[in-house]
């Protein structure tokens, strides 16, 4: 460690330097390829030899560079995620996704804390309904089921949910009765 005190004289600083021996880091052999490799930001062995031929690295011994863990990690690449393209269903009501969200922190003007979404896979058309309680999901589903079948003139074939508690036994029973 070097401790310096200085005074400014015109535009120069006069320094008094004192070396503290207990804080000095010393290298026994300054000529190893590994040491220069680390000092120069993990330069390649070829680059180190070019600098050595130009006498820019003092006292470097010819030798091969050992495997450097840092360099190996730096050369690693991530394995790409498989791209799985979702193919949409061909028919209008072949698949409908549904989910219930809530309770929200703030009630709507109508007093609702929840909302349920229905998304048609083919057209990406979305229907959103607000709910005061979660147990209203089946009632709203019956309404949307009748509405979309009338509107599109087709039967709803499959509904996909996250198996949350809101889609329980009465919901399953209704879907079985209507062939969903």
The rounded radius of gyration (Å) of the Cα atoms in the chain is: 36
DSSP single-letter state for residue 90: S
Q: Given its phi and psi angles, is residue 111 left (phi above 0), alpha (psi -120 to 50 degrees) or beta? A: left
pLDDT at 102: 85
DSSP single-letter state for residue 157: -
What is the reported pTM?
A: 0.53
Q: How far is CA 43 from CA 19, 27, 74, in A?
A: 32, 19, 12
3-class DSSP state of 11: coil
pLDDT at 120: 93
Token pair listed for 59? 């006292």
Please tell me the distance from the alpha carbon of residue 132 to that of residue 105, in angstroms, as a whole number: 13
DSSP single-letter state for residue 22: G
Nearest partner of 103 among 123, 131, 122, judged by Cα? 131
3-class DSSP state of 162: coil
Token pair listed for 127? 């229907």
Task: Write down all domains in the chain, each with its CATH number in brackets.
Answer: 2-75 (no CATH), 96-177 (3.30.420.10)
pLDDT at 112: 94
pLDDT in tens, the chain (180 residues): 444 455 555 667 667 777 666 655 555 565 677 877 888 888 888 888 888 888 777 767 666 777 888 888 887 788 887 777 778 888 888 999 999 998 999 999 999 999 999 999 999 999 999 999 888 888 999 999 999 999 989 999 988 888 777 777 788 888 888 888
């Amino acid at each position: 460690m070097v401790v310096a005190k200085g005074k400014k004289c015109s535009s120069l600083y006069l320094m008094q330097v004192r070396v503290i021996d207990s804080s000095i880091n010393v290298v026994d052999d300054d000529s190893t390829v590994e040491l220069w490799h680390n000092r120069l930001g993990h330069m390649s062995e070829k680059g180190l030899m070019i600098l050595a031929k130009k006498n820019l690295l003092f006292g470097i011994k010819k030798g091969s560079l050992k495997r450097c863990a840092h360099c190996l990690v730096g050369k690693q690449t991530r394995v790409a995620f498989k791209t799985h393209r979702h193919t949409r269903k061909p028919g209008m009501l072949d698949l409908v996704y549904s989910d219930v969200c809530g309770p929200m922190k703030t009630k709507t003007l109508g007093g609702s804390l929840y909302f349920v979404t229905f998304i048609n896979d083919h057209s990406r058309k979305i229907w959103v309904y607000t709910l005061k309680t979660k147990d209203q999901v089946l009632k709203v589903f019956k309404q949307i089921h009748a509405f979309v079948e009338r509107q599109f003139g087709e039967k709803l074939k499959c509904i996909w949910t996250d198996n949350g508690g809101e889609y329980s036994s009465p919901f399953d029973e209704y879907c079985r009765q209507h062939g969903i």
